[in-house]
Structure 1
Amino acid sequence: MTELRAEPLSPIDAATLWPQLHRLDTEVIATRGGENLLVSSGIAATGITRLPHVPRTSVVGVRRGLSYRGVAVARRLSGGAGWEVVSVRIARPKDDEAVIALLSGLAHEVAMRDGRTLYLRYAEGSPHATALRQVGFFAYRLERIYALPPGARGAETPFRPAARADRQPIFRLYCRAVPEMVRRHEAPTQQEFRAVLDSFDTSREFVLDGPGSLLAWVGIGEREAHVLVEGNEDSIEAALDLIEASAPRHGALVVAEHQPGLEGVAAGRGYPALGVRLMCARRLALLNPLKEVVAVPGDSYPVPQ
């Protein structure tokens, strides 16, 4: 029996997958609109101008005749050091062999593009967890998902919009607010931290100034809101006020397991629990192809006697 392998797909091939996606109806990973990335990357490859920015993507597939047994999509995150698995779809309800082949193929493609870390999130209790671990993904933290409570609060906020100059202070806040054991696997450097922030998929960022440093950071996107906070309960309350006033009604609050203070305040304000997911990472070896070898005549250089 031959080992199952996933093949990299060109942007045009990836775009042609759109009509077949209904056949790949088991979503192993679905944190983003991966099918939209398939189409947009294919359109971008045509050279049409005036298109919105399309993230750099890697798409691999396991073929089965003229159709596909599974497809996986990863996108490059900010800074280039990290990539995120945004979609893994398979044709069968459970197909560990295909999942392993798809994620192994993505890891190889990302490493060839100088990626250092491949991230993914999956739901706790997923029937595909064993296959994900076999590919080398290490779960380093839990994320609890909460729905926003009904009724927005329009109170004034002490937060201000984040600026480019806040990148370093936000990273220092991250180093203070997140345990070292998590940072070691997630983002030991500022470049990798930029990738983690990008994986939150936030469109707006806000910071709360303190004496000499930032007390909190809030990122709000179309689907989720994330918080980094180091301070008292007042900072947490202000962060949740901002989220309730600014986040979409269908959005959710993501609370990491090392944020019991944030979780307690959110529960006290009536945030309904939606579920739990695991954040995973796989470190990738840097694949440097060998340079071309050129034959040199033996008499070209003097040989020491």
Structure 2
Amino acid sequence: MTTQSEPRHDPSLSAIMSERRQLINLAYRLLGSLADAEDVVQETYARWYAMSRQQQEAIVSPGAWLTTVASRICLDLLGSARARRERYVGEWIPEPLPDRTEWISGRPGGTSSDPADRVTLDESVNMAFLVVLESMTPAERVAFILHDVFRYAFAEVAEIVGRTPAACRRLASSARRRIGASQAHAASTARQADLVRDFKQAWEAKDIDALIGLLDPDATATGDGGGLVSTALRPIEGGERIARYAVDIAGRVPGLTLLERRVNGQPGLVAQQDGVTVVVMAFDVAGDRIKHIWGVRNPEKLRSWTAGPQH
């Protein structure tokens, strides 16, 4: 006997579940948190299976329905996120994602590590992009992601956001300008990889002068410990201050191993202590200098990371 708690017997299950990857990708970009994205997708499917079979069959496009519901849940969460962030200890940085070859199996809570659940790592999930998204209003963020990343028409976006198509067009345009300004002088991936490697070597050598030479004079370094581990509670500003801070850490934390890794699809660094990942660093490179460093130490945001082979 089929019940709503046993959706596996539903003949439409494969069509419905095939949307899961799209929903995870959408929700992560909107929320900057894989854990929250997974919760959103779970809630979206719960709402689908809470409907009667007759109600489900009346929906012309289940995929569009699922996307609309997930987007609206994200919109609500984004609306309350500012209040939650005010209570967050220190700075909040989006959850960093490893390269798909290093995705950890068996995430806490029994989450599947099936490739269909993974986030596609393209330019719309690099850390600099996500940080700019964090500065947007919830409506701007949703309108921009749905239209510019997922190619939804403004008429469809309007139904989801609850604005007119013209208003959604203006929201996306505003968001696009912010993204464009932040990426105006972005370096190539190859150049970023070279600078990150040079930064790693200078850090390991505790060479302050070399580090200063790699950092933009106005560079910023932001840490996220979530109140669970120690880190700078406010961004460190200035290339020289960042260089001295890095060397100080290297001196106070013996046995720290630095590994070159891709973080959200871009060259980054992972620091391990006794084989355990303790910080994941993402970089933003403008021209020939490192402009921003984001160091995530909050262990709740590092659950997707494995030790992997050392370089």
Q: TM-score surpassing 0.5?
A: no
Normalised to the residue count of structure 1, the TM-score between the two structures is 0.30
Bigger share in strand: 1
Bigger share in helix: 2
Larger Rg: 1
